Amino acid sequence: MAYSDKFPLSLYIHIPFCTTKCSYCAFNTYTHLEHLIDPFVQALQREIEWVGRRGHRPVLHTIFWGGGTPSLLQKAQFAAIFASIRENFDVRPNAEITLEANPNDITRAYAEELRDVGFNRVSLGMQTAHAGELSLFRRRHNNDAVALAVNAFRRAGFDSLNLDLIYGFPHQTLESWADTLNQALALKPDHLSLYGLSLEDGTPMKTWVMRGQLPEPDDDLAADMYELACQRLAELDYDQYEISNWALPGKACRHNLQYWNNYSYVGVGPGAHGYAGGYRYATLLSPQRYIKAMSSDLDVDAKAYPWTPAVETFTQVDRDTEISETLIMGLRLIDTGIERQEFEDRFGEDLVSIHRAAFEKFADAGLVEIDSARVRLTERGKLLSNIVFRELV
């Protein structure tokens, strides 16, 4: 058993459908395929059954439904998928179960259905509070829809709610960012994820910038926006527990901590990634090919758990790779950093001795702090984390 498998498992479910495509989005998601949702749900149930059985009912402590837009599914579809999960996995009673939602999809009745069917955490894609910026993003919601959705979730009993925001995009000013932050904070989220815009290949946003129709994002301004957010959120007692994530006490996202601790997770659905049994893998991107793969005769000469007929790439992770990945992901954890004893239990070596020269250089430059319990980024290291990560790969 791989060390990362000694801890309870997480499950990621990818729902690859969206009503419209946002201008910055490079996720594996498709418009105008809603007619495939029912066959997709059946394929997903088969994949869940396949991987759960072959893993001998692994214990799950988090489930994250992302996409895409999971809030396009209806209660009966969620119920069918949850039934397959519970039949084939051992879901802990206190498991964190998150739904990513588009604000436009949320009514009070739908929020109650989501709670009844098993969700206990929601993540809303707010992105910005400004109409012009939402329109640049080609988002289909307006800002009022965010407050209505938050209200609906609160009234339905959700006490763990995240808002996603984006900063550092063309034409955004420090003032508009400060206002977006204030408007988000007025909704009293339990958790905030703040993402610096990354121009991804193939997106309209990147094309507009390359053609000169939009200005290049300004990295210095984005750094000012990030610092402003760090300051403002600290004043309100949000704990920055990861480079891009803040939470009120007890509200850190356990699912994402699984990734940052480099523990095992199973990914199902088209284009999902997973890391379990010592393998990293990715499933077929195309929903049509995914449905076909999971509908075909499954009695094949299968590879090891967690392989399924929907898996397209499947790579065994060697020790050096696991060490690098554990370092890079663990250093994103601002509070805890990487715990030296746990690292030594996992790899049989002290992490500082593995990368002594690099860590001493970063410590001298004020980018990391090292004590007997842990290694973590400093305030300055947080801003220059890419330099640290590059050297540790």
Residues binding ligand SF4 (CB under 6 A): 18, 21-22, 25, 27, 29, 67-69, 102, 125
69 vs 180, beta carbon nearer ligand SF4: 69
CB of 74 to ligand SF4, least distance (A): 18
3 vs 27, beta carbon nearer ligand SF4: 27
The residues with which 313 forms a beta bridge, in sequence order, are 282
Q: Give the contacts of 82 (CB within 8 A, at least 6 positions apart).
A: 117, 118
For residues 311 and 305, what is the distance between their CA atoms, to the nearest angstrom? 11
Which DSSP string corresponds to 341-360?
Answer: HHHHHHHSS-HHHHTHHHHH
CB of 31 to ligand SF4, least distance (A): 8
CB of 16 to ligand SF4, least distance (A): 9
129 vs 351, beta carbon nearer ligand SF4: 129
Chain position carrying tokens 């420090």: 174
CB of 102 to ligand SF4, least distance (A): 6
CB of 148 to ligand SF4, least distance (A): 17
2 vs 33, beta carbon nearer ligand SF4: 33
27 vs 347, beta carbon nearer ligand SF4: 27
- Pairing state between β 161-167 and 191-196: parallel
CB of 204 to ligand SF4, least distance (A): 11
Residue 214 DSSP class: S
Give the dihedral of Cα atoms 246, 248, 251, 253; nearest 10 deg. Answer: 0
Looking at this protein, which amino acid is placed at residue 309? P
Which DSSP string corresponds to 169-218?
Answer: -TT--HHHHHHHHHHHHHT--SEEEEEE----TT-HHHHHHHTTSSPPP-
31 vs 173, beta carbon nearer ligand SF4: 31
For residues 229 and 163, what is the distance between their CA atoms, to the nearest angstrom? 14
18 vs 293, beta carbon nearer ligand SF4: 18
Looking at this protein, which amino acid is placed at residue 278? G
CB of 34 to ligand SF4, least distance (A): 13
For residues 193 and 123, what is the distance between their CA atoms, to the nearest angstrom? 9
For residues 316 and 278, what is the distance between their CA atoms, to the nearest angstrom? 6
